[in-house]
Amino acid sequence: MSSLLFKIRCLQPSWHHLNNFSCKQYANIAASMVYSSPKPSWSRFTQQAQFHSHQNYDKSHKEQTFFQRNRSEIKLAMGCSIALLILYSYVKYYELSNNQINSVHERVGESNILKERPKETKIAKSVVNPRDASGLKLTLYQYQTCPFCCKVRAFLDYYGFSYDVVEVNSVTRAQTRWTKYRKVPFLVVEIPGSEYGDSTVLQLKDSSVIMSALASTLRNPSDSFLTILDGYPSFYNEDNKLEFSNRYRIMYGENYREALKHPKDNATELQWRQWVDDKFVHVLSPNVYRTPTEALQAFTWFSEVGNWQELFSAWERLLVVYVGAAAMYFIGKRLKKRHRISDEPRDSLYEEANKWMKFVKSRGGEFAGGKTPNLADLSMYGVLTAIEGCDAFQDLTANTDISSWYEAMKQRVGGREGEQELVRRCRIR
């Protein structure tokens, strides 16, 4: 019997072996060994079994580690822990997924329609064109010398829209406290209702979207303005920055055949409009605010052309001029590094201006649009008007051949050359 128990003890699996044998298999092996052994007398078997079992148990029990003695309980605990961990991870993943889905639904498709009319504020300037029969009441919230604001004004002037201007204090921004979206430019559009309905008030955001939406409206006389705006849905990206689909695209609707006539021209116009926003505009600040003296000179000119003496109190004007100049000097340095502009910012300014003029000449006319300006021309011209009174602009015209194109654009925009499209569109509903 001792040899039998010895065999049983020797065959006792270790923790490693237990992973390869089930408890049932192990029990079957032990049982087969017992039944295959010689059968001694009952009393002797009982005495020896009791003796050896206690002796071997004490000895093996002392030799086993804590983990070996409690392996079944440990395995059960580990299994439960893993199950709970998996369940917890699934629950958190489910909650996170739902939160993300809810967040996306809350942040996508932001409406342009205002629930309440904007609070009345001082109008800095009113541009009136008697031939504007659109019926729209437009109010542009702007900084007078912001490149993107200048771009919108160039578009409105070229097509002959009537509009009011609200000059926003760039430090206090008191004129935009009524809205959560306070980044200029934005355009408040009031569409008159029928004799039985109220008018609709919209807030259009992003300079390129404003241009694209209004240009699309002029080219689609059968579509309402709200229908056109559906083509430019807004959403917030991962950085919580407001973005727009189709920012640079013109909607042709039923007039799609017109777009098919010149697909290359449309694609080129879109490409260079984006180039103005993403590339050229970023070389302006490091040049305008290249030195403290140039920064102060620029803000002094901003004050004059923006008529700040009449619009703002003395302390507000001085605050904007001196604090703004100091702030933009340092911001210009940071932008220079971010956009990899050369150590001498003028070199980058001349290089990008020459790229533009090379493209204009390749079009076979005075403008990027050929014989008449297109939206790329209006974008480039608009951002350049923002620095017209600065030293950087004087150096630019002296060291490149952009002045001839610029002067031609000034005549076309000042003369409202594109107003025929607005006149043909008539009332915008």
Q: How many CB atoms sit inside 10 A of residue 368's CB?
A: 26
d(CA 133, CA 152): 20
Catalytic site residue 426?
A: no
Instruction: Give the pLDDT band of residue 82 (cuts 50, 70, 90).
Output: low
Span 365-369, average pLDDT: 95
Instruction: Give the pLDDT band of residue 329 (cuts 50, 70, 90).
Output: very high
Catalytic site residue 390?
A: no
Interior angle at CA 416, CA 415 and CA 418, nearest 5: 135
Pick from 103-117, 304-318, 356-370: least confident? 103-117
Instruction: Give the pLDDT band of residue 412 (cuts 50, 70, 90).
Output: very high
Helices (H), 247-323: 256-261, 263-278, 284-288, 292-305, 308-311, 314-318
Instruction: Give the pLDDT band of residue 362 (cuts 50, 70, 90).
Output: very high
Instruction: Give the pLDDT band of residue 107 (cuts 50, 70, 90).
Output: low
Span 322-341, average pLDDT: 90
Span 351-365, average pLDDT: 96
Q: Which of 21, 90, 94, 148 is catalytic?
A: 148
pTM higher than 0.85:
no
For a pLDDT cut of 90, what percent of the chain falls above it?
Answer: 54
Instruction: Give the pLDDT band of residue 130 (cuts 50, 70, 90).
Output: very high
Catalytic site residue 143?
A: yes
DSSP 117: P
Instruction: Give the pLDDT band of residue 115 (cuts 50, 70, 90).
Output: confident
Has residue 253 got a pLDDT over 90? no
Instruction: Give the pLDDT band of residue 85 (cuts 50, 70, 90).
Output: low
Q: Which of 146, 159, 329, 393 is catalytic?
A: 146
Residue 290: the pLDDT is: 95
Mean pLDDT of the chain: 81
d(CA 104, CA 117): 27
Pick from 113-122, 191-200, 270-279, 338-347: least confident? 191-200
d(CA 347, CA 70): 77
CATH architecture of 125-425: Up-down Bundle (1.20)
Those residues whose C-beta lies under 8 Å from the C-beta of residue 217, and which sit 6 or more positions away, are 223, 225, 228, 425, 428
Residue (of 92, 114, 263, 131) closest to 181 by Cα position: 114
Tokens 């000034």 correspond to 410
Catalytic site residue 150?
A: no
Q: Which of 21, 90, 149, 359 is catalytic?
A: 149
Domain ranges for the chain, please list them.
2-68, 70-100, 125-425
Span 23-52, average pLDDT: 44
Q: Which of 23, 94, 143, 196 is catalytic?
A: 143
d(CA 124, CA 175): 11
Has residue 27 got a pLDDT over 90? no
Q: For the segment 378-407, what is each residue's pLDDT rounded down to a tens digit? A: 999 999 999 999 999 999 999 999 999 999
Instruction: Give the pLDDT band of residue 194 (cuts 50, 70, 90).
Output: low
